[in-house]
Chain A
Amino acid sequence: MSPDKLVRMANQIATFFRSQPGTDQADRVAAHLRDFWDPSMRAALAAHLAKGGEGLDDLAREAAQKV
């Protein structure tokens, strides 16, 4: 699956949780990815991260590491 799309989707999710109160935003993004993304999408995101994770914002990157 095209990494660009996954990156955009992950960043969108991160943008939402960044606005939420608390200190566990990365965990909440990771939980959202686990709950709604099929394993192959998560694997593709992990692969993209392994290659440097271009385009992922900080929170999305942190979450991707936790998934």
Chain B
Amino acid sequence: MKDFIIPTDDRDLGTPARDGAPVTLSIDGVEVTVPGGTSVMRAAALAGLTIPKLCATDNVEAFGSCRLCVVEIEGRRGTPASCTTPVAPGMVVQTQNDKLRKLRRGVMELYISDHPLDCLTCSANGDCELQDMAGAVGLRDVRYSTGANHYSAAGNGMLTPRDARATRTAPAGDLGNPNYIPKDESNPYFTYDPAKCIVCSRCVRACEEVQGTFALTIEGRGFDSRVSFGAKTDDALASDCVSCGACVQACPTATLQEKSVVELGTPTRSVITTCAYCGVGCSFKAELNGDQLVRMVPWKHGKANRGHSCVKGRFAYGYASHKDRILNPMIRDSIDQPWREVSWDEALGFAASRMRGLQEKYGRKSIGVITSSRCTNEETYLVQKLARAVFGNNNTDTCARVCHSPTGYGLGQTFGTSAGTQDFDSVEQSDVIMVIGANPHAGHPVFASRMKKRLRAGAKLIVIDPRRTETVEGPHYRAAHHLPLRPGTNVAVVTAMAHVIVTEGLMNESFIRERCDWDEFQHYAEFVGQPKNSPEATEMLTGVPAADLRAAARLYATGGNGAIYYGLGVTEHSQGSTTVMGIANLAMLTGNIGRQGVGVNPLRGQNNVQGACDMGSFPHELPGYRHVKGAEVRAVFESLWGVELDPEPGLRIPNMLDAAVSGNFKGLYCQGEDILQSDPDTKHVAAGLAAMECVIVHDLFLNETANYAHVFLPGSTFLEKDGTFTNAERRINRVRRVMAPRNGYEDWEITQLLARAMGANWGYTHPAQIMDEIAATTPSFAGVDYAMLEEKGSVQWPCNEKSPEGTPLMHVDGFVRGKGRFIVTEYVATDERSGPRYPLLLTTGRILSQYNVGAQTRRTANVVWHDQDVLEVHPHDAEQRGINEGDWVKLASRSGETTLRATITDKVSPGVVYTTFHHPTTQANVITTDFSDWATNCPEYKVTAVQVSPSNGPSEWQEDYAAQAALARRILPAAE
């Protein structure tokens, strides 16, 4: 395996980049030209000259506290700190001379006099900037004798460990060190050891500037000053800290240190790869010893994350080596039997003959595939190819069906393509940010940090969400407007905003005339202008005060660059597609499209939702969003694959399950998805799966779906394979194999083995060849190959002859479809209504530390933050029902019932309850119904009429389910 050679400069340049007009100066006789505003320290670093530093690092603003970076500047008095001194034209700087050396040594001596100096046994040995700087300034001696300090009290009194080892005793009468503060090990992933802190405040600044949580402060003054996790508590876990790791990365010493480094030692090699959790798609440096992963560090050249991360990508990778992982293929004749471990050949032969047998008996279209948005582009491409070219039907769907399929339809109809319009950098230029049905704080944390930074700098925020989510308000910002709408009324709210913009004359007419279809606009303007669409008329329905809605609409239309970010709270409704169109209408009305700082941006839930959709995973579309009915498009693939393709759309996931229940759909290959836990109306999903005669689950763990499977093919983790993920910005990022697959094969190889077992002649030897095939067949990917990704790091599609460098912004000079199309968005109430039996509305969401169905994050220490799903109930509703904080409650809908614990909060409005779906024991989807989006069948997860009542514990269904699951998971030992 070849390590990825980092092509870009990975050094810490000391202070952040600036973009002023070029300035030329001289440093140590070297002439250097840098952007105006750059610090002297950074300018020197860019010229290849290193100035010693401790309190500066290039992802936070300089602070100027350590005075190690002093320089002399001709014509200026004294010795200014180079990190806080900006360059000036013609400046002449000296970074090394006797005077500076002496000053620096003095500084180092002071630091070292209160540092334990147990370097050889320190976890940061070899990775400590204090150590490096001692070397760099030529520190040879410390003239101070042991005095007041913060050393360990482990029987050493106030001696350094070194001195204590030398003398073996504390001086008589020394009862230990009153200034010593013990190590804080409460966070599962990192430790805080105050004895080693040099109070450089890099961590405090990282937590504020990069992460935006403001969990850390420097407490006390002078000798007493120490980093603290907030005033109320001194414990990292109980503090506001969200465990993003930014402070750990910023810390120059072992004070804040990953526990994995303490345990495994400093890493010796690294591979650049991409996080496999959310749609932000952060770039990481996987750091290893041999094939032992030591830590994941966000990569500063990653264009989605710019060196930041969240707790999931940074720390929650332990599932890859969890004992629950299945490493051998298994089969069984029927689902009441235990699993039998078999060879790959036997498992694949069994699967292939069963699937072919089903086709012979029940017809070519009786089997299908489900691909996962967690898998790579290359893997999903192969899985849909398996359906189309090997099964000979179009029964391929992806879990994007149940999240962002309305985005595909809605943006396709209005703009002409299914994708976000911006890159994440764009948010830095937004003036008004409107977040609809999304909670980036929890779902897209690194994007949230970047957005919050912009909000702290003064941009305005509008949040449209039934809950007062964590995104609504945070340290040093608060939404200008939070519109807490009743679940299911998105279309009414979005249309009412358009009503305000149109009737108050706030639209951007020249943009509309130039860029959009004027006739369609006329119809639309006539429609939204009707009095029934006014905020006053819809207030009773939506629960949003008309005055607030008017103010928000005016702000979005007139507040400068307006950007919309939306999530599953928009799509997962009966009118999901209509809301997406309504959002596109708003952006076109106000001309907020086609430049930096504006746009329409779906926040994708899973890492590769965008890619899975791009790759032709939907049953009606070939790769690149081209309908299967197009003969010319089919011809491209037919000539390459040597088969005839079905011109008719295939079954979508809910259709497959319906068809299974009615006996027409019999076999499923399900890669990386747990439809039993993640899809709505669990009982219906279970009935569909139980009715199939061959279910092949290809996954890391025996997930819930596997309880109904006949073949289990063990999968590989993102650390164990090569490929690409495409994030919410359409950015194609490389996933690199960091270690060999523990299950023996990368996932794309397993799909290929299955295809070959079913008679295909596929012979890919590396995913790069699959990408070449994608590029050869799909115009928006025509310019993409692994060599260019290696060179550029990443690229945003479309990438082809017209845009060889990729496309950071879409619809710049014109919409992909030509003229932008306004579409009338009539509000239609969902059939799912509260009534006497089910008087409350349930809506669902997610939290920061857990991911999707939790299969990965539940198998990490992230459970300390969230070990069960709880139901949020408004105090008013709780009181009416006699429910107290922490009580077990029964949650029932017309689909089913489950039990979980309640928490009482006014984050939800009266009449609304809320829970997450991260834990299989709760099975929140037992409750959700089979209602779905009119255009795409995306399930209506976000609205279910329910009743809540006190309960004693798990429901009968939960107990039966647990018993059945235990039986279904039995594994017989392998035959001798």
Residue of A at shortest CB range from B933? A12
- Taking a contact as CB atoms under 8 Å apart, the answer to whether B648 and A13 are in contact is no
Residue of B at shortest CB range from A21? B523
The verdict on A38 contacting chain B, using a C-beta distance below 8 Å, is: yes
- Taking a contact as CB atoms under 8 Å apart, the answer to whether A21 and B935 are in contact is no
Q: Which of A9, A32, A38 lies in contact with B648, CB distance below 8 A?
A: A38
The verdict on A23 contacting chain B, using a C-beta distance below 8 Å, is: no
Q: Which of B658, B659, B930, B935 lies in contact with A13, CB distance below 8 A?
A: B935
- Taking a contact as CB atoms under 8 Å apart, the answer to whether B934 and A38 are in contact is no
Q: Which of A5, A15, A37 lies in contact with B930, CB distance below 8 A?
A: A5
Residues of B within 8 A of A1 (CB): 655, 658-659, 662, 664
The verdict on A35 contacting chain B, using a C-beta distance below 8 Å, is: yes
Give Cα A64–Cα B664 distance, bound, in whole angstroms. 22
The verdict on B157 contacting chain A, using a C-beta distance below 8 Å, is: no
Q: How does the 8 Å CB contact mask read for A31-45 relative to B, with 1 for contact and 0 for none?
A: 010111111110000
The verdict on B920 contacting chain A, using a C-beta distance below 8 Å, is: no
- Taking a contact as CB atoms under 8 Å apart, the answer to whether A19 and B824 are in contact is yes
Contacting residues of chain A (11-65) with chain B, CB-CB under 8 angstroms: 12-13, 15-16, 19-21, 32, 34-41
Residues of B within 8 A of A32 (CB): 935
Q: Which of B394, B627, B937 lies in contact with A9, CB distance below 8 A?
A: B937
- Taking a contact as CB atoms under 8 Å apart, the answer to whether A16 and B578 are in contact is yes
A39 CB, nearest partner CB in chain B, Å: 5
The verdict on B285 contacting chain A, using a C-beta distance below 8 Å, is: no
Give Cα A55–Cα B394 distance, bound, in whole angstroms. 29
- Taking a contact as CB atoms under 8 Å apart, the answer to whether B627 and A38 are in contact is no
Q: Which of B649, B659, B823 lies in contact with A36, CB distance below 8 A?
A: B649
Give Cα A56–Cα B282 distance, bound, in whole angstroms. 48
- Taking a contact as CB atoms under 8 Å apart, the answer to whether A20 and B658 are in contact is no
Residues of A within 8 A of B394 (CB): 38
- Taking a contact as CB atoms under 8 Å apart, the answer to whether A15 and B649 are in contact is no
- Taking a contact as CB atoms under 8 Å apart, the answer to whether A2 and B934 are in contact is no
The verdict on B591 contacting chain A, using a C-beta distance below 8 Å, is: no
Give Cα A11–Cα B824 distance, bound, in whole angstroms. 18
Q: Which of A5, A16, A19, A36 lies in contact with B620, CB distance below 8 A?
A: A36
Residues of B within 8 A of A9 (CB): 932, 934, 937
Residues of A within 8 A of B616 (CB): none
B822 CB, nearest partner CB in chain A, Å: 10
The verdict on B298 contacting chain A, using a C-beta distance below 8 Å, is: no
Interface size, chain B (Cβ < 8 Å):
31
Residues of A within 8 A of B652 (CB): 36, 38
Residue of A at shortest CB range from B629? A35
Residues of A within 8 A of B831 (CB): 8
- Taking a contact as CB atoms under 8 Å apart, the answer to whether A35 and B523 are in contact is no
The verdict on B826 contacting chain A, using a C-beta distance below 8 Å, is: yes
Give Cα A19–Cα B824 distance, bound, in whole angstroms. 7
- Known A-B contacts A35-B620, A35-B627; A40 and B934 likewise in contact (beta carbons under 8 Å): no
Q: Which of B523, B655, B824, B935 lies in contact with A41, CB distance below 8 A?
A: B655
Q: How does the 8 Å CB contact mask read for B358-396 relative to A, with 1 for contact and 0 for none?
A: 000000010000000000000000000000000000110
- Taking a contact as CB atoms under 8 Å apart, the answer to whether B662 and A15 are in contact is no
Give Cα A35–Cα B650 distance, bound, in whole angstroms. 10
- Taking a contact as CB atoms under 8 Å apart, the answer to whether A20 and B824 are in contact is yes
- Known A-B contacts A1-B655, A15-B828, A21-B523; A37 and B574 likewise in contact (beta carbons under 8 Å): no
Give Cα A33–Cα B930 distance, bound, in whole angstroms. 19
- Known A-B contacts A1-B662, A35-B649, A40-B664; A21 and B824 likewise in contact (beta carbons under 8 Å): yes
The verdict on B92 contacting chain A, using a C-beta distance below 8 Å, is: no
- Taking a contact as CB atoms under 8 Å apart, the answer to whether B658 and A5 are in contact is yes
Q: Which of B619, B662, B930 lies in contact with A38, CB distance below 8 A?
A: B619
Give Cα A36–Cα B620 distance, bound, in whole angstroms. 6
The verdict on B206 contacting chain A, using a C-beta distance below 8 Å, is: no
- Taking a contact as CB atoms under 8 Å apart, the answer to whether A40 and B659 are in contact is yes
Give Cα A8–Cα B832 distance, bound, in whole angstroms. 13
- Known A-B contacts A1-B662, A20-B824, A21-B523; A39 and B648 likewise in contact (beta carbons under 8 Å): yes
- Taking a contact as CB atoms under 8 Å apart, the answer to whether B658 and A40 are in contact is no
The verdict on B651 contacting chain A, using a C-beta distance below 8 Å, is: yes
- Known A-B contacts A5-B930, A20-B823; A38 and B655 likewise in contact (beta carbons under 8 Å): yes
B405 CB, nearest partner CB in chain A, Å: 10
Residue of B at shortest CB range from A16? B934
Residue of B at shortest CB range from A33? B649
- Taking a contact as CB atoms under 8 Å apart, the answer to whether B365 and A40 are in contact is yes
B135 CB, nearest partner CB in chain A, Å: 67
A45 CB, nearest partner CB in chain B, Å: 12
- Taking a contact as CB atoms under 8 Å apart, the answer to whether A38 and B649 are in contact is yes
Give Cα A45–Cα B325 distance, bound, in whole angstroms. 44
- Known A-B contacts A1-B659, A16-B578, A19-B826; A36 and B935 likewise in contact (beta carbons under 8 Å): yes
- Taking a contact as CB atoms under 8 Å apart, the answer to whether A2 and B523 are in contact is no
Q: How does the 8 Å CB contact mask read for B554-585 relative to A, with 1 for contact and 0 for none?
A: 00000000000000000000100010000000
Q: List 30 A-B contacts (CB under 8 A).
A: A1-B655, A1-B659, A2-B658, A2-B662, A5-B930, A8-B831, A9-B932, A9-B934, A9-B937, A12-B934, A13-B934, A15-B828, A15-B934, A16-B578, A16-B826, A16-B934, A19-B826, A20-B823, A21-B523, A35-B620, A36-B652, A37-B649, A38-B394, A38-B619, A38-B651, A38-B652, A38-B655, A39-B648, A40-B659, A41-B655
Given contacts A5-B930, A35-B629, A38-B651, 11 further A-B contacts (CB under 8 A): A1-B664, A13-B934, A15-B828, A15-B934, A19-B826, A20-B823, A35-B620, A38-B365, A38-B394, A38-B649, A39-B648
